[in-house]
Structure 1
Amino acid sequence: MGTVVLSIDAELGWGFHDFAEPPRDRLASARQGWQALVDLCAEYRVPATWAVVGHLFLDDCDGRHRDHPAPPGWFDHERGPDRMSRSLRFADGLIDRIDESDVEHEIGIHTFSHVEMGAPETTATQADAELSAAVDAARVHGVEPRSFVFPRNNVGHLQALSDNGITCFRGTKPTDDPRADGAGAVDKVARATVSDAGPPLVRARRNSLGLVNVPASLYLFGFEGVARSVAEPFVGDPVAVQARRGIDDAAAADGIFHMWLHPNNLVAPRDVRRLRSIFEHLARVRARTDLQVRTMGEIAADVLADTAPKRVATDGSDPA
């Protein structure tokens, strides 16, 4: 029995606060895309793991975060004439939309301020501060986060996850896959128009720290620009083609198809149509097979239960 997982990097303005020139179209659509994604998930009964930047749980702040061991200038964008708007710094009701959905979503975290955990300049002290601040902010909101997504998929400082109660994380797409995300435009067009191969199915595995790695299979907005425009006249939306293949493969095999995106990817009507077409196909396959849609936390709980040490009774009898 196969499984589909959807994880969402929910960051509003924090995903681009360190950019000299952030993508203004994505920032402008960030809140609207978040709400559209909640609605689509509810319509098609798709539970997702929402990895939320910890700062978004706050109701307010001074914009300085003096107790945080961030490098100089890291929070400068929160104040002054060029600061991010409040609508991009705080969720202001968006997390409540997830909580109030009829779908059983999971809320995880995405660091506190979108620090790249695997960057060489990120220290262990900073990594721990990012995790602990995010967990504390989530707990005030009533969330006990267990799942984690690395900003920009830059994996590092796994010990900080373990120390702060995280049980699973989204790992990178398998690097031995010839269809890796680093392919150029020509390769991407060929994959969508010629190849019958789908994105990889993955396995969730427990590492030496006891953390469960739930690797990614497909970024739903990694095929844009020239590649998308060239492929669409021939095969339609190329990412929808790949996602349908991944869903079909998961239904036919015992593996995980793990797709992911950001709410701010939903910039134009065609982006919403992409997601709707994927969800419609998922609904059709679920109706005729035993394919499941589960959260990262649910996957991790099963792996941890299966790999837990077996208790042995001292009298030789079966343990209760």
Structure 2
Amino acid sequence: MFSLDAELAWGFPDFDDPPMDRIDAARDAWTWLVDLFDEYDVPATWAIVGHLFLDDCDARHADLDAPAGWFAHETGALGARHDVRFAPDLVAAVRNAAVDHDIGSHTFAHVPFDHPEVTPELVDADLARAIAVAADQGLALESFVFPRNAVDHRDRLAKYGFRSYRSAGPPSGTGLASTARKVAAVLDPRRVPLVEPRVDEHGLVDIPPSLFLFGFEGTPRDVLASVWTDPVVRQATDAIDRAADGDGVCHLWLHPNNVVDDAGRARLEAIVAHVARRRDEDGLVVETMRDVADRVLESEPTQTIA
């Protein structure tokens, strides 16, 4: 299973120095990914920032009491970049793809739900706006990915009709601890977990991640790739093989704006091609978050809290 945090420039509204290489690459990467999934007939969950459904806006957002300065980039350095603030054409590309993708939500304005200034009222306003702009295009949002994996306000998701979310997964640590954990996982791919979705106390299906496909970058990745192979491909294909053997769900995720070069494209094509091969040869079931929610909610009783 693949889930994508589709956000263009909306991933960085609070960055003083946003990563322009990723922002500039995001549109081409998005369309390339649509074509890649079509080529191999592999569906994915696209969790799309609601603002991208729009053609334009007034940049004020009076109905969203977001943290101070959250929308400043719309009138600042990125204000003239209509191409990375709005993307109805890219949403349409996912909708019109040959494969049946699951279009979910990444909120309307990419406000992290654990931000100290984020209130339940702001979450309500954001979710209502995200649902409304999707409904204008005939879409009902059921799958949810939290900005920056900051899982909070799950009760509000249930209130607005969502059925599943990607949880944060285990903490990765920081600094040397994080690097050591990543290197250990590369050397022993079985450290990449398969996951078991479950129904939480709000009646939502919690779908943990197995592997972020761009979490091992920079010099360590380059060194290993030069003498061996792309270590993330090895991690992902090992997890896919275990899932094909029936050991659990392999949930891979990324942002389109992670795909900034040919090495990133080669990585993803190798992984998607492996999924398709195991499906065609061994019956691997390829699901979206929507599919998992359907399956789990049919088999498990739910206990919800108001």
TM-score relative to the length of structure 2: 0.93
SS at match of 1:74: coil
User: C-alpha displacement at 1:287, in angstroms?
Assistant: 1.9
**Structure 2: distance between partners of 1:89 and 1:270:** 26
User: Residue 299 of structure 1 corresponds to which residue in structure 2?
Assistant: 292
Residue 275 of structure 1 aligns to which amino acid in structure 2?
L
User: C-alpha displacement at 1:170, in angstroms?
Assistant: 0.4
Q: Which moved more, 1:281-290 or 1:126-135?
A: 281-290
Task: Determine which of 204, 207, 213 is the counterpart of 1:214.
Answer: 207
User: C-alpha displacement at 1:126, in angstroms?
Assistant: 1.1
Task: Determine which of 109, 112, 129 is the counterpart of 1:113.
Answer: 109
User: Residue 189 of structure 1 corresponds to which residue in structure 2?
Assistant: 183
Whether the aligned pair in 2 keeps the contact of 1:198 and 1:246 (CA below 8 Å) is no
User: C-alpha displacement at 1:195, in angstroms?
Assistant: 2.1
Residue 178 of structure 2 aligns to which amino acid in structure 1?
G
> Residue by residue, what CA displacement relative to the aligned partner does 1:215-259 show, whole Å, maximum 9, x if unpaired?
100000000012211221233111111000110110112410000
User: Residue 100 of structure 1 corresponds to which residue in structure 2?
Assistant: 96
SS at match of 1:108: strand
Q: How does 1:159-178 map to 2 (within 5 A)?
A: 159-174=155-170
Residue 91 of structure 1 aligns to which amino acid in structure 2?
A
Whether the aligned pair in 2 keeps the contact of 1:10 and 1:53 (CA below 8 Å) is yes
Percent identity, aligned pairs only, is 47
Alignment RMSD: 1.6
User: C-alpha displacement at 1:196, in angstroms?
Assistant: 4.8
Could you say if the C-alpha distance between residues 80 and 22 of structure 1 is closer, same or farther in structure 2, counting changes exceeding 3 Å? closer
Whether the aligned pair in 2 keeps the contact of 1:198 and 1:245 (CA below 8 Å) is no
Structure 2's unaligned 5+ residue stretches are: none
Residue 89 of structure 2 aligns to which amino acid in structure 1?
G
> Residue by residue, what CA displacement relative to the aligned partner does 1:107-158 show, whole Å, maximum 9, x if unpaired?
0000111010123331111111111111111111111000000011010011
User: Residue 271 of structure 2 corresponds to which residue in structure 1?
Assistant: 278
**Structure 1: distance between partners of 2:115 and 2:47:** 19
Give the paired residue count.
300
SS at match of 1:256: coil
Q: How does 1:245-260 map to 2 (within 5 A)?
A: 245-260=238-253
SS at match of 1:29: helix
Q: How does 1:124-143 map to 2 (within 5 A)?
A: 124-143=120-139
**Structure 2: distance between partners of 1:186 and 1:303:** 35
Structure 1's unaligned 5+ residue stretches are: 310-320
User: Residue 217 of structure 2 corresponds to which residue in structure 1?
Assistant: 224
> Residue by residue, what CA displacement relative to the aligned partner does 1:55-95 show, whole Å, maximum 9, x if unpaired?
11112111101121213322121125652511111113001
**Structure 1: distance between partners of 2:205 and 2:189:** 30
User: C-alpha displacement at 1:307, in angstroms?
Assistant: 2.2
Whether the aligned pair in 2 keeps the contact of 1:13 and 1:27 (CA below 8 Å) is yes
SS at match of 2:41: coil
Task: Determine which of 37, 45, 49 is the counterpart of 2:45.
Answer: 49
**Structure 2: distance between partners of 1:190 and 1:150:** 27
SS at match of 1:56: helix
Task: Determine which of 220, 223, 238 is the counterpart of 2:231.
Answer: 238
**Given the alignment of the two structures, is residue 63 of structure 1 paired with residue 68 of structure 2, yes or no?**
no
SS at match of 2:279: helix
> Residue by residue, what CA displacement relative to the aligned partner does 1:259-294 show, whole Å, maximum 9, x if unpaired?
000111110011000001111222221122121111
**Structure 2: distance between partners of 1:37 and 1:253:** 27
SS at match of 1:21: coil
TM-score relative to the length of structure 1: 0.89
